[in-house]
């Protein structure tokens, strides 16, 4: 059994009720990244559960992690069949891989590509993550992410402190050369930065052909909602509506 199989991940929650939304952060972040999105979804009637994935935040580290062990820890830690699941980047890949077991009613992948890099090298990955972790300071963010809010930057700086390089490297090696593109038998939205380093026009064309809906947030960076919160929330229209919005749209369709 993989070391994080069945482990309870740390979670952060907003809101109450049976209408659950599960949020998965990207690499080097943690559940704090959703500090504004979580409460906004709670106001729309969701009980929002944001996880710290293995090696991030307050969840266990695992130097032998795999995509499968991340999936197992996620499924063990959140309710099955949530009304909504949102995954950013690496979190989107884990969500895609776990979708069949998690069974969300609607899914949103934020600036996510589903194919792992070919032939990554452990030593190179370790150096890169270690260097990036060291460099990801407030001074760096003020210089390179000037459009982020103070709270955006604070959440990133705090998350980086607990980011475990060995867990991330093992996960990347596990995903190398694999395609985690999920089935689109449930409504599946991709929200991308525009322009996006990851979800390029060619990738968009492939996603559209496979049945995804793709929406863009012009000017945003990879962490799309940081600095572009209102535009990001607007991009979720139809996927993360409140019950009253859903009923209103359903009534409008019936009267056309």
Residue 2 belongs to some domain of the structure: no
Q: Is the per-residue pLDDT at 255 higher than 70?
A: no
Residue 135 belongs to some domain of the structure: yes
Per-residue pLDDT of 72-125, as tens digits, reads: 999 999 999 999 999 999 999 999 999 999 999 999 999 999 987 777 799 999
Q: Which residues span the domain enclosing 37? A: 11-255
pLDDT bracket for residue 248 (50, 70, 90): low
pLDDT of residue 6: 67
pLDDT bracket for residue 249 (50, 70, 90): low
Residue 5 belongs to some domain of the structure: no
pLDDT bracket for residue 2 (50, 70, 90): very low
Per-residue pLDDT of 180-209, as tens digits, reads: 999 999 999 999 999 999 999 999 999 999
Per-residue pLDDT of 118-175, as tens digits, reads: 777 999 999 999 999 999 999 999 999 999 999 999 999 999 999 999 999 999 999 9
pLDDT of residue 41: 98
Residue 236 belongs to some domain of the structure: yes
Q: Is the per-residue pLDDT at 246 higher than 70?
A: no
Residues linked to residue 84 through DSSP beta bridges, in sequence order: 21
Mean per-residue pLDDT, 31-45:
98
Mean per-residue pLDDT, 24-46:
98
pLDDT of residue 1: 36
Q: Count the domains in the chain.
A: 1
pLDDT of residue 85: 98
**DSSP H helical ranges for the chain:** 37-43, 67-77, 90-102, 122-135, 138-144, 150-162, 165-175, 201-209, 229-235, 243-255
Residue 4 belongs to some domain of the structure: no
pTM of the predicted structure, to 2 decimals: 0.94
Residue 3 belongs to some domain of the structure: no
Residue 189: what are its φ and ψ, rounded to 5°? -115, 135
pLDDT of residue 117: 78
Question: By the 8 A CB rule, do 50 and 38 touch?
Answer: yes
Residue 207 belongs to some domain of the structure: yes
pLDDT of residue 166: 97
Question: By the 8 A CB rule, do 141 and 36 touch?
Answer: no
pLDDT of residue 199: 97
Check which CATH number belongs to the domain holding 81 and give it: 3.40.50.1820
3-state secondary structure of 107: strand
Residues 6+ apart with CB under 8 A from 147: 221, 226, 227, 228
pLDDT of residue 244: 66
Residue 168 belongs to some domain of the structure: yes
161 backbone φψ class: left, alpha, beta (φ>0; ψ -120 to 50):
alpha
pLDDT of residue 66: 96
Q: Is the per-residue pLDDT at 253 higher than 80?
A: no
Per-residue pLDDT of 207-235, as tens digits, reads: 999 999 999 999 999 999 999 999 999 99
């Amino acid at each position: 059994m993989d070391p994080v199989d069945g482990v309870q991940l740390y979670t952060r929650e907003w809101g109450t009720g049976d209408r659950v939304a599960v949020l998965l952060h990207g690499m080097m972040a943690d559940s704090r990244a959703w500090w504004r999105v979580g409460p906004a979804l709670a106001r729309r009637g969701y009980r929002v559960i944001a996880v710290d994935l293995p090696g991030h935040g307050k969840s266990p580290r695992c130097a032998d992690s795999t995509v499968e062990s991340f999936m197992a820890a996620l499924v063990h830690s959140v309710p099955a069949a949530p009304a909504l699941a949102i995954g950013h980047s690496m979190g989107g890949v884990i969500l895609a891989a776990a979708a069949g077991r998690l069974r969300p009613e609607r899914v949103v992948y934020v600036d996510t590509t589903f194919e792992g890099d070919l032939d990554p090298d452990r030593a190179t990955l370790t150096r890169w993550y270690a260097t990036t972790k060291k460099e990801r300071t407030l001074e760096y963010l003020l210089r390179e992410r000037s459009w982020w809010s103070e709270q955006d930057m604070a959440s990133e700086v705090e998350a980086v402190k607990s980011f475990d390089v060995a867990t991330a490297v093992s996960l990347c090696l596990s995903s190398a050369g694999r395609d985690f593109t999920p089935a689109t038998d449930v409504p599946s939205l991709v929200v991308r930065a525009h322009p996006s380093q990851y979800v390029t026009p060619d990738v968009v064309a492939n996603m559209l052909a496979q049945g995804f809906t793709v929406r863009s947030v012009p000017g945003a960076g990879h962490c799309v909602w940081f600095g572009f919160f209102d535009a990001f929330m607007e991009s979720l229209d139809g996927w993360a509506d409140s019950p009253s919005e859903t009923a209103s749209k359903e009534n409008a369709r019936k009267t056309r």
